Amino acid sequence: MATITHLSQRTPTVSVDDLLAGFHPSYRFGEVSFETYRPDPAWPTQAEAVTKLRNFASTIGKSKGGFLSNLFGKKKAEKSGMYLDGGFGVGKTHLLASLWHLAPGRKAFGTFVEYTNLVGALSFRQTVEVLSTYSLVCIDEFELDDPGDTVLMSRLMRELSDAGVKIAATSNTLPGALGEGRFAAVDFQREIKVLSEQFDVHRVDGVDFRHRGLPDAPTPLEDDAIEEYAMARYGEKTYAVDEFAELVAHISKVHPSRYRALLAETDVLVLHNVETITEQAVALRFVVLADRLYDKDVPIVASGKPFSELFTPEMMAGGYQKKYFRAVSRLTALAREAQTGEPGQ
Ligand SMILES: Nc1ncnc2c1ncn2[C@@H]1O[C@H](COP(=O)(O)OP(=O)(O)O)[C@@H](O)[C@H]1O
Ligand SMILES: [Mg+2]
C-alpha cells in the first residue's frame, strides 16, 4: 500500500546530535571514492586533484597543532585547507566526498548553506566548540554572494583551523552556458584574506561529466492526474502530497536545518499547483528545500508552473542567481526523473 503524508503538517524536532549526524555526504555520494573518480586525461588538473587530495588526506588527524604551530613548526608547514575551484559537473563534490570517506577521525560534510544554518541553530560559539573536535570539515559549494555569510564562514574556518581542524571546500558554479564561476578562486582568496595562505587552491578543469547543462523542464501534468500518475509509476512508496502554497507557507515556519528531517520519510513528492515565488526570503528557503530533495534524490511529480518559472526573472538575474539556477536545475532534474525516467543527476 502506498502511504500518503503531508509535509505541510510535519514539524520535526532535531537535537544537536541529530543535526550533526546529518553532516555526511548525501545518498548520491554515499559510495564514491578516488577509485571511482575517472580523471579525464585531456584535463591533467583532474588527476592532479586526486594526488593532492590523497596527500592532504594523509595529513588529517595527525597534528592538531594548527595555525601557530604550522607557522613556527620546523618542518614545512602543511596547509590546513584545500579549495577546489572549477566548472559545473567536473566532479568537485565527488572528489570532496571521496576525501571525506578516506579521512580518519570525526569528520563533517555539508554544503556552505548547511553550515550557515548550523550556526543559526546552535550559535557561532557552540558550532566552533563542536566542530573543533573534528579532524576534517568539508564545505561543499562555498558561496560568495552574501557578504554576511561569507564573513561568518571565514571566521568559522579561521577558528577551526586554529584548533587544528583540516578544511576542504569547493566552489559553487552555474550549469551550462551560463558559465562557471569565473574568478571564483580569486574571490575566495580575497574573502578569506587571513586564511588564504593556509589554503591550497586547486583548479579542476574539464567539461560537465554528464555532458549537459540546464535540461528542459518537462511539460507540467494536469493537476487532477498527478497523484494517480505518481502512484502508478512508483507503487508502494511513501508519498508526500502537498499544495505548493501550503508547503511554501509551512517551510517559512520550520528552520532550514530541519528540512532534512522534514523529508525523512518521503520517497516521492507530489506537488499541486506550483506557482512563481515572488518574495526573496521565501525563495531562498525553497532553495534549501530543493537541495535537500536533490540530496535524497526524491522524484517530484508536479502540476502548475514548470520549475523553470519558479523564481521571477528579477531573482534569476539578481545577486542570488547562482542559488536560484542551482535550485531550478535540481528541481527540473527531479521532475524529469519522475516524468521521463532519466536519472535525476
Ligand atoms: N571524473 C569523474 N569520474 C567519475 N564520475 C564523475 C567524474 N566527474 C563527475 N562525476 C560524476 O558526475 C556527477 C557530477 O559530478 P559532481 O561531483 O556533482 O560535479 P561538481 O560538484 O563539480 O558540479 C556526479 O554523479 C559524479 O559522481
Ligand atoms: Mg558539486
- Convert the pLDDT of each residue in 231-283 to its tens digit: 999 999 999 999 999 999 999 999 999 999 999 999 999 999 999 999 999 99
Grid coordinates in use for 234?
512508483
Question: How many Å apart are CA 187 and CA 103, to the nearest integer?
Answer: 28
Nearest CA to ligand 1 atom 17: 91
Residue type, 246: E
What pTM did the predictor assign? 0.75
Res. 169: pLDDT tops 70? yes
| Mutate which of 84, 111, 209 for ligand 1 pocket (most atoms within 8 A of beta carbon) | 209
39 or 209: which leads in pLDDT: 39
- Convert the pLDDT of each residue in 298-329 to its tens digit: 999 999 999 999 999 899 888 888 889 889 98
- Contact 170/142 with Cβ under 8 angstroms? yes
Of ligand 1's listed atoms, the one at least distance from the Cα of 204 is 22
pLDDT band at 65 (very low <50, low <70, confident <90, very high): low
From the CA of 208, which ligand is nearest? 1
From the CA of 36, which ligand is nearest? 1
Show the domains of the chain with their CATH numbers.
Answer: 3-12+214-340 (no CATH), 31-204 (3.40.50.300)
From the CA of 32, which ligand is nearest? 1
Percent of the chain residues topping a pLDDT of 90: 61
Q: Walk across the sheet containing 3-5 and list its strands.
A: 3-5, 238-243, 268-274, 300-304
Question: How many Å apart are CA 151 and CA 100, to the nearest integer?
Answer: 24
Q: From the CA atom positions of the chain, what is the Rg in Å?
A: 20
Residues with CB under 5 A from ligand 2 (ion): 92-93
Torsion from C-alpha of 338, 341, 342, 343, nearest 10 degrees: 70
Res. 63: pLDDT tops 70? no
- Residues having CB closer than 6 A to ligand 1 are 32, 36-39, 86, 88-94, 209-210, 345
- Convert the pLDDT of each residue in 80-133 to its tens digit: 999 999 888 899 999 999 999 999 999 999 999 999 999 999 999 999 999 999
